[in-house]
Amino acid sequence: MSEIDPITLSVLAGRMEQIADEMDATLFRAAFNPIIAEAHDASHGLYHAETGDTLVQGKSGLPIFVGVMSFAVQAVIEKVKADGDLEDGDIFIFNDAHIGGTHLSDMRLVRPYFRDGKLFCYLASVGHWHDVGGAVPGNYNPAATDVFQEAFVLPPVRLARAGKINPDIVDIVLRNTRLPQSAMGDLNGQLGALDLGVKRLDELLDEYGAPTISSSFDALGNRAEALMRSELEALPDGVWEAQDFLDNDGIEDTPLAINVRLEITGDRMVLDFGNSAPQCAGPVNIALPTTIATAYVAIKHIFPLLPANAGVMRPIDVKVPEGSILSAEFPAPTGGYTETILRMIDVVFSAFAQAVPDRVVANAYGTINALSIAGKRSNGQPWVMFSFYGGGHGASVESDGLNHGNAPISTATIPPMEILEAAYPVMFRSWALRPDSAGAGQHRGGMGAIYEIEVLEENGGEAFLFGERGRFAPKGIAGGKDAALNHFSYEQDGDWAEPPLASKMRGIRLKQGEAVRLETPGGGGFGPPEGRSAHAIARDVARGLMSEEEADRAYSANWRKEQS
């Protein structure tokens, strides 16, 4: 391999990021499903030909996919080794979460890129499809006890051979969804993104030559590793632990522990998730690839200048016990993976807060509140409104937390209510900030939100909720206080009811004119509440973000005297 100078390396890194960014944009514009088109729950990247390691990922895609897509590409590499053949124009498709991470809603396409007849690297696309079968429309089944109750399971298979699509595979995929038109649109969008990636790589290699680009792959990994080691050396050595809990698994009403032991020694780090709960019956399990990827996402938040490259993880040892909720084996259900990885990020932040509190934020609201409402229109056509919802982010040493943000596992956006109302027979009675939901502190957490959604379809609908933080509030750090709990309710014959398991429920029958209501958590506070200025407290009260009663409780009535 030829040596590559730093300036050229930076230029090439930018060019390759641009390729992934363009692939993201192509899918976002072409997808039929609002979770991809509006919320940007998708990702694209370039991956090493031999190891499957992440080389570059687009900046608009979900961070969690940086790590898990590496496992997806590795799965394809293993299949190719077993089958003994690979051709230019082959495309593989699958959604098996135990192999490729996350959950079955995320459909993965992997395509080898050839140069001069030789495999050069892989391109990959992943997107959250609206529905892939299973017992619950939208696939967030809180009562699932195996993957087959969650969705149709597709192992890695060839969607295309030497550039020719296999229609049999397409037929199988479309037969296993309630929304085949949406699935076909998303599939074509992903295929288009891969085609664009091939075109842009051709242009890049024509300009710089294959040897230079190949050298840059190794150099980018080495640079990422060096940057990570430098960051670790600047931190104090030591051992810190943190623990938090999931409400339950949707089957048994028992809290589930997520524990981490953080150890930093020189330029090395260990994240040991021992003492976490064992694999459970319900769908809050996650597979090992998801756990490794989540550790990367947490690290990327704490060290934001690090590149999206597998070299970052070389100095980090992630330990996960066998039989754990964080290393679930097939066919354990994994549909609610989002809730578990959010708790993983929370405990990593809480552990880091003991070592370097100025490097982290307090816990964010900690649940995507995956809510689907489905039914049939008067003409018999099925409809499935699936979306996720926002809440408050944690405060930091510098500022209050963000009000009504999206979960820290993603750069996705919450689909606008105008889009949802236009696409489905629903009306949002409320879409507002939730007063008194933030954790108190010198800097308070961000505010959660209130959503109230009414069913307009004359045939009514059926709602399904998969959430968390109904019993264990988002934590403050450095003396900051916890935020409000998640709260869900639904109308039944003029009264409001609540789920027995607090944050999870399926089969909620809704008549025309009935609604569901989500009151999402805020973020945790940073620093002791005594350090917050009376002016800042009075400003929040004046803006309706906090009641006077909550201000008195959280900050004591002294704020009134100081303000006067």
d(CA 53, CA 55): 6
Please state, for a pLDDT cut of 90, what percent of the chain lies above it: 87
Of the candidates 226, 252, 279, which is a domain's last residue?
226
The distance from CA 115 to its chain's CA centroid, rounded to whole angstroms, is 34
- The encoded tokens of residue 543 equal 């803006």
The residue range of the domain holding 43 is: 6-226
Of the candidates 226, 257, 277, which is a domain's last residue?
226
Q: Is residue 334 part of a domain?
A: no
Q: Is residue 306 part of a domain?
A: no
Answer yes or no: do 221 and 369 share one domain.
no
d(CA 510, CA 507): 9
Q: Would you place residue 347 in the very low, low, confident or very high pLDDT band (cuts 50, 70, 90)? A: very high
Distances (CA, A) of 524 to 226, 258, 279, 393, 398: 33, 18, 28, 7, 14
Of the candidates 173, 208, 226, which is a domain's last residue?
226
Q: Specify the pLDDT at position 560.
A: 77
Q: Is residue 421 part of a domain?
A: yes
Give me the residue label for tokens 């050069």: 120
Q: Specify the pLDDT at position 564.
A: 60
pLDDT in tens, 75-96: 999 999 999 889 999 999 999 9
Q: Is residue 476 part of a domain?
A: yes
Q: Is residue 136 part of a domain?
A: yes
Q: Specify the pLDDT at position 1.
A: 47
Q: Is residue 1 part of a domain?
A: no
Alpha helices in 84-209 (DSSP H): 97-100, 167-175, 180-208
Residues 443-458: what's their mean pLDDT?
Answer: 98
Tell me how many domains the chain contains. Answer: 2
Least confident of 178-187, 400-409, 475-484, 497-506: 400-409
Could you write out the DSSP letters of every residue in 278-329? BP-SSTT---HHHHHHHHHHHHHHHSTTS-SSGGGGTTEEEE--TTBTTSPP
Q: Is residue 383 part of a domain?
A: yes
Residues 140-164: what's their mean pLDDT?
Answer: 95
Give me the residue label for tokens 């949406």: 182
Q: Is the pLDDT of residue 279 over 90?
A: yes
Q: Is residue 349 part of a domain?
A: no
